[in-house]
Amino acid sequence: MTQITEIERGALIGLAEELADAARGATLAHFRSDGLSADSKETARFDPVTVADRASEQAMRALIEARRPEDGILGEEFGPKPSASGLTWVLDPIDGTRGYLSGTPTWGVLVALSNAAGPVLGVIDQPYIRERFVGGLGEARVDGPMGRRALKCRAPRPLSEAILFTTFPEVGTAEEGAAFRRLAGQVRLTRYGMDCYAYALIAAGQIDLVVEAGLQPYDVHAPIAVIEAAGGVVTDWRGGPAHQGGRVLAAANPEIHAAALAVLAAAG
């Protein structure tokens, strides 16, 4: 496993924030603009990609190539670059492109730094409201309109008092959707459509659970690092590692995680 020195730690956190800054500029240049259009990456369903997605990732890739050319890159819009250093930057240039196209402020930019074992640093950035969540390598903080605050997940509470989020009501396959609905039937409040911002709300101590399925690695690396730095837990639906994507259960604490996992485990 790649070891990161104290000197490298500061430089890597600084670069991660520079990447998020570059993506802010690229995404805001097109947000809520007249004539913004999208291509679909799939034919069976609308899976949009815009000029802003591509510009955001290109801006981040250019910085990585200039500063740390031996690091790998895994992004949503362009091909992967193998790592020669043991470290890989995992980028989602706009997580929530459907929300971006709709003009909502709940999309975000995801930046993660990972080694073979998974993410060690993550940034969830919301450019429009200028709110940035940073977790890993000794950091657990949010900077935004209310200033800088420490990130800390919610304390344990019964499942019947929990707030649960997911992005799409369908939640993957019919089987996965049925498992989610069993869980939703046991919590106090279920909400939809927040994309990566829901994971940030776990780290900020606002909600208890996020459950999703069919995710890609670039969807989850940054949220995993941020939530774990704030004291939360992120696994797959069997309690194993989630950084490869697929089914993801993010929880504010081990107790609420165990309660939700027991319900989801019935999905097989």
pLDDT in tens, 145-160: 999 999 999 999 999 9
Q: Do 91 and 135 share a structural domain?
A: yes
Q: Do 191 and 129 share a structural domain?
A: no
Average pLDDT over residues 206-220: 98
Q: Where is pLDDT greater, at 19 or 42?
A: 19
Average pLDDT over residues 89-101: 96
pLDDT computed for residue 42 by the predictor: 65
- What percentage of the chain reaches a pLDDT higher than 90? 90
Domain encompassing residue 184: 159-267
Q: Do 121 and 200 share a structural domain?
A: no
Q: Do 141 and 16 share a structural domain?
A: yes
Q: Do 146 and 28 share a structural domain?
A: yes
Res 1 pLDDT > 60: no
Rg (C-alpha) for the chain, rounded Å, is: 18
Asked if residue 22 belongs to a domain, the reply is yes
Asked if residue 1 belongs to a domain, the reply is no
Asked if residue 30 belongs to a domain, the reply is yes
Which of 265, 242, 263, 247 lies closest to 171 in space, CA to CA? 247
**pTM for the whole thing?**
0.95
Q: Is 223 in contact with 234 (CB distance < 8 Å)? A: yes
Q: Do 100 and 174 share a structural domain?
A: no
Q: Which of 122, 150, 178 is the last residue of a domain?
A: 150
Convert the pLDDT of each residue in 108-149 to its tens digit. Answer: 999 999 999 999 999 999 999 999 999 999 999 999 999 999
Q: How many domains does the chain have?
A: 2
Q: Do 178 and 128 share a structural domain?
A: no
Q: Which of 150, 173, 192 is the last residue of a domain?
A: 150
Q: Do 58 and 22 share a structural domain?
A: yes
Q: Do 104 and 213 share a structural domain?
A: no
Q: For residues 202 and 260, what is the distance between their CA atoms, to the nearest angstrom?
A: 15
Q: Is 199 in contact with 221 (CB distance < 8 Å)? A: no
Average pLDDT over residues 85-109: 96
- Other beta carbons within 10 angstroms of residue 42's beta carbon come to 8
Q: Do 163 and 141 share a structural domain?
A: no
Q: Is 163 in contact with 241 (CB distance < 8 Å)? A: no
Q: Which of 150, 178, 200 is the last residue of a domain?
A: 150
Supply 81's token pair.
Answer: 């670059």
